[in-house]
Amino acid sequence: MSVADRIDYIEFPSNNRAGTSGFFRAAFGWGITSYGPDYDGLEGAGIDGGVDQADNRVTATMAVIRTQDLDDAERRVVKAGGVITRPQFDFPGGRRFHFREPGGNELAVYVTRPE
């Protein structure tokens, strides 16, 4: 199984649970399981995780998603309704961009440099 488009674990707070869950499905192909009006579980993201819309949810966080083709990932993010907040840039060991999904979470997607 490919390591592209995977995170390790994260719980995303959201002010738009359906928008956030739909975004992840469209941009990265992750499955969604609803556990009621305030929480969706993520499937196929590489780890257990969830989208939390409850009033007492945790504060915003940023996950970093590894991919194999940064340009393709950026196109998928934009097509799914994401907004690029920081264009592609180099960092030690790779290249990445930041984006905001429809529910307001900011995330990053990166590729490593070939060795």
Between 27-31, 33-37, 61-65, 106-110, the lowest mean confidence (pLDDT) is in 61-65
* pTM: predicted TM-score of the whole model, two decimal places: 0.70
For residues 35 and 2, give the distance between their C-alpha atoms in angstroms, rounded to a whole number. Answer: 28
Q: How far apart are CA 51 and CA 92, in angstroms?
A: 30
| pLDDT at 47 exceeding the cut of 80 | no
Q: Per-residue confidence at 1, pLDDT binned at 50, 70, 90?
A: very low
pLDDT of 59 > 70? The answer is no
Closest CA to 30 of 2, 6, 66: 6
Domain 10-112 has CATH 3.40.50.300: no
Per the prediction, the chain carries an average pLDDT of 86
Mean pLDDT of the 16-35 span = 94
